[in-house]
Amino acid sequence: MAAAAARWNHVWVGTETGILKGVNLQRKQAANFTAGGQPRREEAVSALCWGTGGETQILVGCADRTVKHFSTEDGIFQGQRHCPGGEGTFRGLAQADGTLITCVDSGILRVWHDKDKDTSSDPLLELRVGPGVCRMRQDPAHPHVVATGGKENALKIWDLQGSEEPVFRAKNVRNDWLDLRVPIWDQDIQFLPGSQKLVTCTGYHQVRVYDPASPQRRPVLETTYGEYPLTAMTLTPGGNSVIVGNTHGQLAEIDLRQGRLLGCLKGLAGSVRGLQCHPSKPLLASCGLDRVLRIHRIQNPRGLEHKVSYLSHLQLMVLWRPRLLCPPFMFLSQHAWLLKAPHLLQVYLKSQLNCLLLSGRDNWEVSSWARECGSQGHRCEDLPMERKRGQLECRPGTICLPAWSLNFSERH
């Protein structure tokens, strides 16, 4: 059962209690996975990334400096490795050519034998990328190339198969109109597909594009959004724009060709911790300090997609459409509630969410309706029903919920 549940999850999130949560949006289910049985804050998840074998393995970076290997095929953790060195939590994880790449707050980047489970073994390579690192990002087109940046730590590109010096070191922008130095605070980094360019977002609400092939080391494009620090960023499927999130839960899409604002997304109530777009569909997954996982539609009409969680002991809150014949509040169990709100269905997770991974597969289509038993908190079999939602009837003690649909030609 665990293997079947893990194999079809669409979104994976890491929490402050060390739990890896898998969410299946099609079946409206969520499952917890832990390596030691009981969650511990000492094992808070600080970084997630896919393994080199596609989406069959997830690397989970924890606060106690262990990197755990989770198999999405078997639904279990298949080992871990302790990666000491430096101070702080992981700011990036990656795999390349049978090696494991880690980077921590204090600026120690190390390359390890991924298959060697001997925790006393020395790293293959150690680089000092500078203190105050906020993000290390791997180049998807060149796995041996990574970029780092942080607070008063300018963007650098490193070739792990070359020298111990960066192949590109960004230069700070010119002084402002008062002739004062502009501070540096790169919060997130992305490689632009099909080019050598990179884009960064900063803690001073700036979005900058760098071109290592250009003679200048300063940004070739710079724009700003809002007034609050930007904390996360992701590329849209086309690669011509990015979506950024800030400390006030605001999301915006920025065009990288002209530097203009394309649109905004609403719904978040806390600082954004993780953003990721689907590689081919116009979908955005987001999580943050408000402990809610959301899926937005990023093409017109923009908005929050409807989704339903599995109502069980997983400490979830679900908000659904008001036209359903249900009371506004229903108590399910000690840690699960239902709340009715217009045009909104959300997954509420009790643990704080630190990072997320979004599956890139395409089989997300759902066309049926599902029936949820609110009194017991378990999922019944899907029932074929008419799609005339205004005529939906419910049995006493049950709640009928529409399944989440990704048919973009129909506006729900």
Confidence of residue 88 (pLDDT cuts 50, 70, 90): very high
Residue with the bigger pLDDT between 198 and 310: it is 198
Q: Is 272 strand, coil or helix? A: strand
Q: Phi first, then psi: what are they for 85, rounded to 5°? A: 115, 125
* 133, 105 contact by CB (below 8 A): yes
Query: What average pLDDT does the segment 375-404 reach?
Result: 35
> Is residue 104 predicted with pLDDT exceeding 90?
yes
Alpha-carbon gap, residue 402 to 10, rounded angstroms: 18
pLDDT digits (tens, 9 = 90+) for 158-177: 999 988 999 999 999 999 99
Output the average pLDDT for the chain.
77
The C-alpha torsion from 29 through 34 and 37 to 38, rounded to 10°, is -90
Query: What average pLDDT does the segment 118-141 reach?
Result: 88
For 4, the enclosing helix (H) or strand (E) is: helix 2-7
So what's the pLDDT on residue 34?
87
So what's the pLDDT on residue 405?
34
In 45-117, which ranges are continuous DSSP H helix? Answer: none
Long-range contacts from 241-247, C-beta under 8 angstroms, 24+ separation: 242/190, 242/199, 242/201, 242/207, 243/275, 243/277, 243/284, 243/298, 244/201, 244/207, 244/275, 245/272, 245/275, 245/286, 245/288, 246/205, 246/271, 246/272, 247/271, 247/272
Nearest residue to 285 (alpha-carbon basis) of 268, 309, 300: 268
- Pair of tokens at residue 215: 């003679």
Strands annotated E in 180-315: 186-191, 198-202, 206-210, 221-224, 230-235, 241-246, 251-255, 261-265, 272-277, 283-288, 292-297, 303-304
> Is residue 382 predicted with pLDDT exceeding 50?
no
pLDDT digits (tens, 9 = 90+) for 23-67: 888 777 788 888 877 788 888 999 999 988 778 899 999 999 999
pLDDT digits (tens, 9 = 90+) for 177-202: 999 999 999 999 999 999 999 999 99
* 18, 45 contact by CB (below 8 A): yes
So what's the pLDDT on residue 139?
96
Nearest residue to 205 (alpha-carbon basis) of 185, 226, 232: 226
pLDDT digits (tens, 9 = 90+) for 314-361: 222 222 222 222 333 333 333 333 333 333 344 555 667 778 888 877
Alpha-carbon gap, residue 79 to 100, rounded angstroms: 14
Nearest residue to 319 (alpha-carbon basis) of 296, 294, 284: 294
